Structure 1
Amino acid sequence: MKRQLGRAGAVTAALGVLAAGTPAFADDPAGLHWSPLSISAAGNCTFPAKDVAATPWALQRVLLDQLWQGGRSTGKDVLVAVIDTGVDDRNPQLQGKVLDGGTLLADKSVNPPQPVQGGARTDPVGHGTKVAGIIAASHRDGVGFVGLAPDARILTIRQNDDAGNGDVDTLAKAVNSAVAKGAQVINISQDVRAAGNSGDFGDGGGLRRAVEAAEAANVVVVAASGNDGQEGATYPAAYPSVLAVGASDRNNERAAFSEYGDFVKVAAPGVDMLSTVPAGGQCVDNGTSFAAPYVAGVAALLRGEHKDWSARQIRARIEQTAQRIQRGPDKYLGWGVVDPVKAVTDTDPPAADPVPDPAVELAGAPIVAQPLGLGETQADRDRRTAAYVLGTGVLLVAALFGGSVVLRDLRRRRAG
């Protein structure tokens, strides 16, 4: 039985508010839904939008010259699949870099369901276009926003829409299709919570097999953790071979809406995220949906620079170099907030898994007792003593001389 794909949160005022956990079929309580798009400045965004000249905060913290290493690591020749609502390549920052990977949507409001018209390079919702921009938007004069891997290409697979017409089966098919079409990184800004306490979502069904096949094909799969703000695994993020991404805020703390749990591998900026929208311009939105492509962009940079690394090694590098205040991972931010520059410039050999940081040794060197001294030698003391004696003698002579003069004057006055 297919699991219906619903949404939580709100996309725009025009689309209306969709309740969390759209009901699925009666015999299958699990509901697949978008990492919810929280209400933000994008709530009133219309397409096209205006160009924004200011550099967004998520890029202000990144030294782009170091990130791109003089053009050596820009995502060139890397194909990133965006399994989403489509990608509108009419936006100038996405023109010439979007490949149509096909449409898997069917309109289920009619019986039998009918294929949704339009290719994957159209995006009536705007969600997929924002995701693609965070990964690979090109530089444009007068615009402060740019993708983390600006020379990467996007393979768009249109698999969902604002009506929840996507499902787990089509998501699995989209992953398989992305691998078959040569994607090296896959971004999935969707999530599903397992039914009951199974913890395995369908006991290793088609979706799990799809992401495991991607891992076997050396493809890095990045997925959003979800926006319910609760603790608990979501899928495909919680599968072992997937890099699960939560959202962080400007203070490198977990965003209040970000799903958390031991399955979260890293976090990335997901609050007030500026990105491309259909037909042109940029808008702001919130969600783990936009934290995941931030990490997918870093993965594209690493794949472009290290073609011989495995998908597992790329995941481990991103996790190991993340910013954290604790030695190892926690359930809120995973291994920490992704550090794009450190990830691509770190010179350590690639590892299969991240390791906790070494413990900090607080004990210092032992203190050796020293005899108390005044900082002078015996010769210094002899010279000081001689000076005292000489000074005392001079004062004594002066006193005697002064006294004799006083006595002489006194006698003269009496004689006179």
Structure 2
Amino acid sequence: MMTPKLKQTALVSGLALAFLGAAALIQSEQPSEQRAVIIQGSDLAALTAAVQSVGGEVTHELGIIKAVGARLSPTQLEAIKERDGIRRIYADSDLSTSSASAEPDCRYLNAEPLMKIGGDKIEWEVYNNGAVDRYLNSVVAIWPKANGDIEELKFHEKLFKGAMPGVSATFARPQWQIAADKAKLKAGGKEKIEIKFEEHPVTDQQGYELRLFFNDGCSIDFPPPPEVLFAGDSDKHAKRSYIATLVDAEDLHWQGIDGKGVGVAVIDTGIWGDKSVYLSEDPYGNERILAQYDAIENKTLDYKKESDGNGHGTHVSSIVVSSRRKSGEFNGIAPNANLIGVRAFDDDGQGSYANAIRALDWVVAHKDAYNIRVLNLSFSAEPQSFYWDDPLNQAVMAAWQAGIVVVASAGNEGPDPMTVGVPGNVPYVITVGAMTDSVTPADASDDTLASFSSAGPTVEGFVKPEILAPGGHIRGLMSKDKRLGKRHPEFHDADEYFTMSGTSQSAAVVSGVAALIVQADPTLTPDDVKCRLMASARPRVDASGNLAYSIFQQGAGLVDAYAAVYDQTWDCANQDLDIATDLSGDNHFLGRANQDENGDYYIIGMDGYLWSKGYLWSKGYLWSKGYLWSKGYLWSKGYLWSKTDLESDGYLWSKVNLLNNGYLWTKTLNEAAAINAWVPQE
């Protein structure tokens, strides 16, 4: 591993070469290579200066959207992306009365990260997860000289047979031996490209490059850019956690969407610090713990300090960011994200409202310094007032309002209804329940909702949780010497892995997914991230297409990282809510859940979502990718609260005497809070 000094020298040299190279390219590029783009920011003068600084031409001032139109070459376009004040860059496409897309949608094309090498050939699998067939147009190949000539190329059928000498070649019509319409990658299917060589092929995969071009302009490349991933295993003791595969995050990692640059804060029992390299370093060996703060002692810590005496905070953090990998699959959902550890719970996992609120205050105060975009809260307390009267919830709402995506665990008090705890009962935040894969990650048919996962609705009538994520027998990092490791040694592997179940773990999964979404589009607000998580989720349905679990148990369904990153849904979360007036006390809000005279829960204005408190744990259901909500996300909307609502006919919140009568908060704010309770593995 390079020393810090050598790393710095190499970085400076690399930047200097890159700058000189970019300058030469900008000078050599022709005007015909320029593209028309729209660049959006916050200040027209700054945008104009940015365009001019890279040698581009400003063509329009679009003050109505705080943007400029410009013409930029490819190199200038890359250069301007690094300038301050650039919010978004769009292609300035032509307009027409047709509905044709200006550019192809290539996001559903994927491939295996590794090829198979054996005998006299190589094989590489590619996938089409979209709904449209793709037709191969040409193949570009580069291979090691020791392989000799290419003798045959197959894509389902033989495209080429003969002798193709050298170390590079392009295979295209008319040399193909099959009709063009047979070189098809079917919708929802996979295909294998196979190349046979004259000699036994070299096994070092870095010696190969393949690029498949399709008729619609899309292409797939091998190898993927991040060279570190080809190492396969991070160490000889590495094991798979499967969570990246379960939520479809693995393909995103290969695309470079791995949380890079995003700060994730975890308020918990602390973190392992530099005792585990997979927490303290990203996949490239860079330090990524930016800061640690002890809210109990009210002091900042050495960012390398081991602050976790319990183990829970370390386990949760590792699910979010662990850079440990097995067979190329990362244990963490956002393995390249930065980590900010905040200790608010002691070695027994206990804490107070006052310390938790102080932790939240510190996170909001330092969000810009560490680019904290995501906050994980894997703890809960029993609700003791309406959400808006709870001081911890008020602090959580302030974090959301400040632009931080807050992810909270639903709690482990299920399966009864109305068991979601604080702060998961805050309507604005993303509250996460747990599913389990029944220890068969490759078989989705036996996945179930975890029996311990808390269910909604909340007292105020909001549907909770919003989403589910893996939370059964989750493998994460933890020292065997920590409190949890000592209490449950049977779940430690004597190395660094500890297995736990709970909505704490499922919340961490969604925090990692949120970091991926924010990296892919930093302009998104917390409401936007919540909307895309919900809109892309996969609800559990039975053979008839009906919900297998109630909306109050599974929310929108199982999180889907890949779909969430590429989803384009807007304005489907926190509709009709106003967090500013909620925090100011001018307005408060109620959800659309209610309880009828039979004790059944339903959604006001939506038919077909009645829940009679039954629990379906049967297997054989599917996670639906195309479930059609009959009225969109009506259940996620709120409406204005008034005192008369408490006395209206049959509303569930009118039946809760504790909340009707109010609750006397102590002057010291020492109400108890705790990390989510231990539950049996499921």
TM superposition score category, shorter chain reference: 0.5 to 0.7
Tell me which of 476, 493, 507 is aligned to 1:275.
476
Q: 1:318 to 1:349 in 2, by over 3 A?
A: closer
Q: 1:289 maps to what in 2? A: 504
Alpha-carbon distance, 1:175 to partner: 1.4
Measure the CA separation in 1 of the matches of 2:300 and 2:520. Answer: 38
2:445 is equivalent to residue 256 of structure 1: no
Larger gyration radius, structure 1 or structure 2: 1
Q: Aligned runs of 1:115-126 on 2, under 5 Å? A: 121-126=306-311
Query: Is the CA contact 2:267–2:341 (under 8 Å) kept in the aligned structure 1?
Result: yes
2:561 is equivalent to residue 343 of structure 1: no
Measure the CA separation in 2 of the matches of 1:205 and 1:139. Answer: 39
Alpha-carbon distance, 1:299 to partner: 0.4
Query: Is the CA contact 1:145–1:275 (under 8 Å) kept in the aligned structure 2?
Result: no
Alpha-carbon distance, 1:219 to partner: 0.6
Q: 1:98 maps to what in 2? A: 289
Alpha-carbon distance, 1:93 to partner: 0.6
The structure richer in strand per residue is 2
Local SS of the residue matching 2:393: helix
Q: 1:147 to 1:115 in 2, by over 3 A?
A: closer
Alpha-carbon distance, 1:211 to partner: 1.4
2:322 is equivalent to residue 137 of structure 1: yes
Q: 1:81 maps to what in 2? A: 265
Local SS of the residue matching 1:186: strand
Question: Could you list the per-position Cα deviations for residues 354-390 of structure 1 after superposition, in whole angstroms to 9, with x for gaps in the alignment?
Answer: 9983559xxxxxxxxxxxxxxxxxxxxxxxxxxxxxx
Measure the CA separation in 2 of the matches of 1:310 and 1:176. Answer: 20
Q: 1:353 maps to what in 2? A: 573
Question: Could you list the per-position Cα deviations for residues 85-116 of structure 1 after superposition, in whole angstroms to 9, with x for gaps in the alignment?
Answer: 1011211211222233311226xxxxxxx999
Q: 2:428 maps to what in 1? A: 241
Query: Is the CA contact 1:323–1:339 (under 8 Å) kept in the aligned structure 2?
Result: yes
2:551 is equivalent to residue 330 of structure 1: yes
Instruction: Give the residue type in structure 2 aligned to 1:237.
Output: G
With CA pairs under 8 Å and 6+ residues apart, which has the higher RCO, 1 or 2? Answer: 1
Query: Is the CA contact 2:246–2:470 (under 8 Å) kept in the aligned structure 1?
Result: no
5+ residue gaps, structure 2, are: 1-234, 281-286, 438-445, 458-463, 481-494, 576-626, 632-682
Instruction: Give the residue type in structure 2 aligned to 1:74.
Output: D
Q: 1:126 to 1:66 in 2, by over 3 A?
A: same
Q: 1:143 to 1:94 in 2, by over 3 A?
A: farther
2:525 is equivalent to residue 310 of structure 1: yes
Measure the CA separation in 1 of the matches of 2:522 and 2:550. Answer: 27
Instruction: Give the residue type in structure 2 aligned to 1:82.
Output: V
Measure the CA separation in 1 of the matches of 2:269 and 2:574. Answer: 33
Local SS of the residue matching 2:255: helix
Q: 1:188 maps to what in 2? A: 377
Range with bigger deviation, 258-267 or 164-173: 164-173
Measure the CA separation in 2 of the matches of 1:176 and 1:116. Answer: 13
Measure the CA separation in 1 of the matches of 2:326 and 2:250. Answer: 17
Query: Is the CA contact 1:148–1:294 (under 8 Å) kept in the aligned structure 2?
Result: yes
Query: Is the CA contact 1:52–1:282 (under 8 Å) kept in the aligned structure 2?
Result: no
Q: 1:117 to 1:358 in 2, by over 3 A?
A: closer
Q: 1:59 maps to what in 2? A: 244
Instruction: Give the residue type in structure 1 aligned to 2:472.
Output: V
Instruction: Give the residue type in structure 2 aligned to 1:337.
Output: L
Instruction: Give the residue type in structure 2 aligned to 1:170.
Output: N
Query: Is the CA contact 1:54–1:145 (under 8 Å) kept in the aligned structure 2?
Result: no
Instruction: Give the residue type in structure 1 aligned to 2:290.
Output: L
Query: Is the CA contact 1:53–1:143 (under 8 Å) kept in the aligned structure 2?
Result: no
Local SS of the residue matching 1:166: strand
Alpha-carbon distance, 1:306 to partner: 1.0
Question: Could you list the per-position Cα deviations for residues 131-155 of structure 1 after superposition, in whole angstroms to 9, with x for gaps in the alignment?
Answer: 1111111144678652111110111
Alpha-carbon distance, 1:275 to partner: 0.8
Instruction: Give the residue type in structure 2 aligned to 1:80.
Output: V
Alpha-carbon distance, 1:65 to partner: 4.5
Q: 1:357 to 1:102 in 2, by over 3 A?
A: same
Alpha-carbon distance, 1:336 to partner: 0.5
Tell me which of 159, 172, 175 is aligned to 2:360.
175
Query: Is the CA contact 1:320–1:354 (under 8 Å) kept in the aligned structure 2?
Result: no
Measure the CA separation in 2 of the matches of 1:318 and 1:70. Answer: 19
Tell me which of 528, 534, 541 is aligned to 1:319.
534
Instruction: Give the residue type in structure 2 aligned to 1:257.
Output: F
Question: Could you list the per-position Cα deviations for residues 220-276 of structure 1 after superposition, in whole angstroms to 9, with x for gaps in the alignment?
Answer: 000111112232231101101211111111144220111111221111100010111
Range with bigger deviation, 274-283 or 259-268: 274-283
Query: Is the CA contact 2:527–2:574 (under 8 Å) kept in the aligned structure 1?
Result: no
Question: Could you list the per-position Cα deviations for residues 143-197 of structure 1 after superposition, in whole angstroms to 9, with x for gaps in the alignment?
Answer: 86521111101110011024354111211121121121112110010001113xx
Measure the CA separation in 2 of the matches of 1:334 and 1:358. Answer: 12
Alpha-carbon distance, 1:69 to partner: 5.3
Q: 1:46 maps to what in 2? A: none
5+ residue gaps, structure 1, are: 1-49, 107-113, 361-416
Q: Aligned runs of 1:378-397 on 2, under 5 Å? A: none
Instruction: Give the residue type in structure 2 aligned to 1:146.
Output: N
Instruction: Give the residue type in structure 1 aligned to 2:535.
Output: Q
Measure the CA separation in 2 of the matches of 1:359 and 1:148. Answer: 32
Instruction: Give the residue type in structure 1 aligned to 2:436.
Output: D
Range with bigger deviation, 96-105 or 211-220: 96-105
Q: 1:352 to 1:176 in 2, by over 3 A?
A: farther
Measure the CA separation in 2 of the matches of 1:354 and 1:211. Answer: 15
2:410 is equivalent to residue 231 of structure 1: no
Local SS of the residue matching 1:235: coil
Alpha-carbon distance, 1:63 to partner: 4.5
Alpha-carbon distance, 1:199 to partner: 3.7
Root mean square deviation, CA, Å: 3.0
Measure the CA separation in 1 of the matches of 2:560 and 2:325. Answer: 24
Query: Is the CA contact 2:310–2:349 (under 8 Å) kept in the aligned structure 1?
Result: no
Measure the CA separation in 1 of the matches of 2:400 and 2:300. Answer: 30
Local SS of the residue matching 1:83: strand
Question: Could you list the per-position Cα deviations for residues 299-336 of structure 1 after superposition, in whole angstroms to 9, with x for gaps in the alignment?
Answer: 00111111111100101111111111357970111111
Q: How many residues align?
A: 298
Measure the CA separation in 1 of the matches of 2:383 and 2:250. Answer: 42
Measure the CA separation in 2 of the matches of 1:142 and 1:350. Answer: 36
Alpha-carbon distance, 1:289 to partner: 0.8
Alpha-carbon distance, 1:58 to partner: 2.6
Query: Is the CA contact 1:51–1:282 (under 8 Å) kept in the aligned structure 2?
Result: no
Q: 1:207 maps to what in 2? A: 392
Query: Is the CA contact 2:293–2:300 (under 8 Å) kept in the aligned structure 1?
Result: no
Measure the CA separation in 2 of the matches of 1:257 and 1:52. Answer: 31
Instruction: Give the residue type in structure 2 aligned to 1:153.
Output: N
Measure the CA separation in 1 of the matches of 2:435 and 2:358. Answer: 30
